[in-house]
Amino acid sequence: MASLVLALDLGGSRLRAAAVDADGKLHHREEVATTSLNGTKAITDRMIAMSRSVLDKCAGEDILGVGVSSAGPLDSEAGFIVSISTIPNFFDVPIVAILEDALNLQVTLENDAIAAAVGEWTHGAGRGVRSLVYVTVSTGLGGGLIIDGNVLHGRRGFAGHIGHMSIIADGRTCGCGNRGCWEAYASGTSFTTRARERVAQAPNSSVALKGDTLSAADVFAAARTGDELAQQLVDEQADLLGIGMVSLLHLFSPERIIMGGGLSHAFDQLHPGIKARIERGAMPAFRDVPVLRAACGDDAGLIGAAMTVFRRNS
């Protein structure tokens, strides 16, 4: 009989479920588009249905509990999701109580970036270190921190909102309401917005015809084929990522910085610029810290949510 954890990962675009074993291997994985679910109850009902479906396939196994990774902000101590900006009207959802009532198993809730950090630490690019910073760059810019062998939670589990470090005084308005946040400059969304603005003023660029449909992937592809403006945009993006990472190096002295999220698909193109900024901006003793691409891919949240439960039971 194997010990398994039921893991759920609720994101703005995808809802995933799987049984995860202690080696981080996924079994009976299921996935659905969150956008296909209409309203809070439809989402929580589907989480319960997917959980039951996975649990049915694990009949006879020892289920240690349920680990939930979710977009946030969320209160991992009180067990509720405060809101998910990409899901309309999803506010103050007591997800732990809802799932515990339905499944009769103990449920642990974790912020998705912290869960992904744990996944990378236990089964990805962070194996074997005691301190790492995980940076996820996609729609938003988030993070999770492992410091001295412990997962950093802070008050109410809110630690690691690294995207809201101010990098420019009174700069661009951020989704959080403040101005000049790192996320407002270096998230995937900000990259795409900046690219569209700049391409609109440069009709000779190979990506100009894309207009408002221009995507981050288009810019990276154009840079690969030698488009000057696209390369300039990539270089600027790498530099903006590096600026925040310099602060993270100085604040936490990690052994590694690990980059995940949608923009990590172009990690090879961003890495030189990130390292160049670290060379210029970090104090000499911090410059040799490697910046690595995340290794768990889309499953980091599921793996990390499960490992959180395994670690509590060990």
Which residue lies nearer to Zn ion by CB, 39 or 154?
154
Rounded Cα distance between 97 and 281, Å, is: 46
Write down the residue that tokens 């509720």 correspond to. Answer: 80
Could you tell me which stretch among 69-77, 113-121, 159-167, 202-210 binds Zn ion (CB under 5 A)?
Answer: 159-167
Which residue lies nearer to Zn ion by CB, 76 or 190?
190
Query: Does the protein bind Zn ion through residue 307 (CB under 5 A)?
Result: no
One residue of 133, 146, 174, 274 binding Zn ion per CB under 5 A: 174
Q: Are strands 74-75 and 256-260 parallel, antiparallel or unpaired?
A: unpaired
Question: What is the nearest approach in angstroms of Zn ion to the Cβ of residue 135?
Answer: 15
Contact (CB, 8 A) for 306 and 20? yes
Query: Does the protein bind Zn ion through residue 176 (CB under 5 A)?
Result: yes
Counting residues that bind Zn ion (by CB under 5 A) gives: 5
Question: What is the nearest approach in angstroms of Zn ion to the Cβ of residue 170?
Answer: 13
Question: What is the nearest approach in angstroms of Zn ion to the Cβ of residue 105?
Answer: 35
Residues 6+ apart with CB under 8 A from 185: 167, 168, 171, 172, 240
Site string for Zn ion, 280-299 (x = CB under 5 A): --------------------
> DSSP label at 4?
E
Question: What is the nearest approach in angstroms of Zn ion to the Cβ of residue 119?
Answer: 25
Which residue lies nearer to Zn ion by CB, 2 or 165?
165
Could you tell me which stretch among 47-55, 164-172, 222-230, 296-304 binds Zn ion (CB under 5 A)?
Answer: 164-172
Question: What is the nearest approach in angstroms of Zn ion to the Cβ of residue 181?
Answer: 3
For residue 290, say if its preceding peptide bond is cis, omega within 30 degrees of 0: no
Query: Does the protein bind Zn ion through residue 164 (CB under 5 A)?
Result: yes
Which residues from 180-199 bind Zn ion, rule CB under 5 A?
181
Which residue lies nearer to Zn ion by CB, 82 or 105?
82
Could you tell me which stretch among 107-115, 178-186, 190-198, 210-218 binds Zn ion (CB under 5 A)?
Answer: 178-186
Which residue lies nearer to Zn ion by CB, 134 or 185?
185
Could you tell me which stretch among 16-24, 93-101, 146-154, 170-178 binds Zn ion (CB under 5 A)?
Answer: 170-178
What tokens appear for 311 in the block?
Answer: 């670690």
Say how many CA atoms lie within 13 Å of 82 toward its Cβ. Answer: 11
Residues 6+ apart with CB under 8 A from 292: 125, 256, 257, 258, 259
Contact (CB, 8 A) for 87 and 43? yes
Rounded Cα distance between 255 and 126, Å, is: 9
> For every residue of 30-80, which 3-state class applies, written as one string?
EEEEHHHCCCHHHHHHHHHHHHHHHHHHCCCCEEEEEEEEECCCEECCCCE
Could you tell me which stretch among 13-21, 120-128, 169-177, 196-204 binds Zn ion (CB under 5 A)?
Answer: 169-177
Question: Residue numbers of the site for Zn ion (CB under 5 A)?
Answer: 164, 174, 176, 178, 181
